[in-house]
Amino acid sequence: MAAGTENLRSIGLFRSMLRIRLIEEEIARVYTEGEMRCPVHLSIGQEATAVGACAPLLRDDLVVSTHRCHGHYLAKGGDLTAMIAELHGRASGCCGGRGGSMHLFDDAAGVLASVPIVGSNLPLAVGAALAISQRAESKVVVAFSGDGAVEEGAMHECMNFASLHALPVIFFVENNLYSVYTRIDERQPARDLSKLGLAHDMLSVHIDGNDVVEVARTMRQCVDRARAGGGPSLIVADTYRTLEHCGPNVDDDLGYRPPLEVSSWTARCPLGVLRDRLSMDELLSPEAEETMRAEIALEIEVAFRAARSGPSPSPTTLGDHVFAASVASLEARP
Ligand SMILES: Cc1ncc(C[n+]2csc(CCOP(=O)(O)OP(=O)(O)O)c2C)c(N)n1
Ligand SMILES: [Mg+2]
């Protein structure tokens, strides 16, 4: 491939990570105003996994995400205006304002679902991959999860089933070392998480999740393999969240993360890693980054303005999507 194309790709990866970063920073900045009532699990520091994982995907390919879904949704091309409206509980939100931050989806962009019950998105991903396989389509599915989901039975059932049926699904574990306040070595035996994929006889790799180019390269191999009928794979990508588990603040004063661990990961911010490389190759100047920031800031401003002024769902729609024969029939039950 021409070096120029590769360079353009890397600049695109940087822009995509920067966009996610700036959107989440804006959410964090205005969160305490109370206009967004849903909990928010921000992925600042983890942008390379979302962007790298989605880089080789086509629009028709699917992703299934978790409670920490903003980056996945945006990297896959989910609509920003509908996302910000959803966080504001507006009728124009991607879930009609009923879901909030942890329920982002966008059919047109291939964001099939985001589910906050840890591990429960994985059967949805495998089910979608089974449907793709039965219809002999060439799409692939990415099943995102955190390291905490590895402790759920669903993860292992899904890997077993996907391997047995050679399904086109990539299990992508973002290993940020923590499930809320508990470090992985207090929750799991000392092991390389990617070995779990080998136990299910699938291609398994363990990578640096803060190097977006490495993530994208690895994903391309897994995606090509899945499209060619080679079956599922497991990618474990090491990364780190900068903020508290849920909310807009830094909570390292609580002392659950060793300061040296925090500082070493912060020094390897995925944007910084790629910025350094692009600058060294004279592919990204501070002025070019400023232009990107200004363009993205405008987009963010428009989305937030629309969300703030949009209507809430009408009270008359309260019973919509409630699957019961009628309230009267429920009340009639003994
Ligand atoms: C089945 C289940 N158990 C517990 C929770 C509460 N919970 C929400 S997020 C979370 C941590 C998940 O950790 P991980 O999978 O590593 O994702 P991360 O938050 O680190 O991105 C927990 C325990 C939940 N949502 N679902
Ligand atoms: Mg985690």
**pLDDT value, residue 306:** 98
> Ligand 1: does its nearest atom lie under 6 Å from the Cβ of 117?
yes
Coarse DSSP helix, strand, coil percentages of the chain, rounded to the nearest 5 percent: 50, 10, 40
> Ligand 1: does its nearest atom lie under 6 Å from the Cβ of 149?
yes
Tell me, in angstroms, the distance from the centre of ligand 1 to residue 112's CA.
20
* Atom 25 in ligand 1: residue holding the nearest Cα: 117
- Compute the C-alpha angle 236/12/299, nearest 5°: 105
Q: For residues 210 and 268, give the distance between their C-alpha atoms in angstroms, rounded to a whole number.
A: 7
**pLDDT value, residue 38:** 98
> Ligand 1: does its nearest atom lie under 6 Å from the Cβ of 153?
no
Our mutation pick for probing the ligand 1 site, out of 47, 72, 180, 238, counting the most ligand atoms within 8 A of Cβ, is 180
List CB-based neighbours of ion ligand 2 within 5 Å. 146-147, 176
Tell me, in angstroms, the distance from the centre of ligand 2 to residue 192's CA.
15
Which run of H or of E encompasses 234? Answer: strand 233-238
**pLDDT value, residue 172:** 99
Ligand 1 atom showing the smallest separation from residue 118 Cα = 26
Which numbered ligand comes closest to the C-alpha of 145?
1
What is the pLDDT tens value at each position of the chain, 334 positions in all? 456 889 899 999 999 999 999 999 999 999 999 999 999 999 999 999 999 999 999 999 999 999 999 999 999 999 999 999 999 999 999 999 999 999 999 999 999 999 999 999 999 999 999 999 999 999 999 999 999 999 999 999 999 999 999 999 999 999 999 999 999 999 999 999 999 999 999 999 999 999 999 999 999 999 999 999 999 999 999 999 999 999 999 999 999 999 999 999 999 999 999 999 999 999 999 999 999 999 999 999 999 999 999 999 999 998 888 877 665 665 666 6
> Ligand 1: does its nearest atom lie under 6 Å from the Cβ of 146?
yes
**pLDDT value, residue 329:** 60
Q: In terms of Cα–Cα distance, which of 109, 104, 19 is closest to 69?
A: 104
**pLDDT value, residue 319:** 85
Which run of H or of E encompasses 8? Answer: helix 3-30
Which numbered ligand comes closest to the C-alpha of 45?
1
Tell me, in angstroms, the distance from the centre of ligand 2 to residue 142's CA.
17
CB atoms under 10 Å from CB of 37, counted, come to: 10
> Ligand 1: does its nearest atom lie under 6 Å from the Cβ of 46?
no
Strand partners, 169: 141
Residues 93 and 86 sit within 8 Å (Cβ to Cβ)? yes
Tell me, in angstroms, the distance from the centre of ligand 1 to residue 334's CA.
37
Q: What is the pTM of this model?
A: 0.96
> Ligand 1: does its nearest atom lie under 6 Å from the Cβ of 171?
no
> Ligand 1: does its nearest atom lie under 6 Å from the Cβ of 175?
no
Ligand 1 atom showing the smallest separation from residue 174 Cα = 21
Tell me, in angstroms, the distance from the centre of ligand 1 to residue 182's CA.
11
**pLDDT value, residue 29:** 98
Q: For residues 104 and 215, give the distance between their C-alpha atoms in angstroms, rounded to a whole number.
A: 23
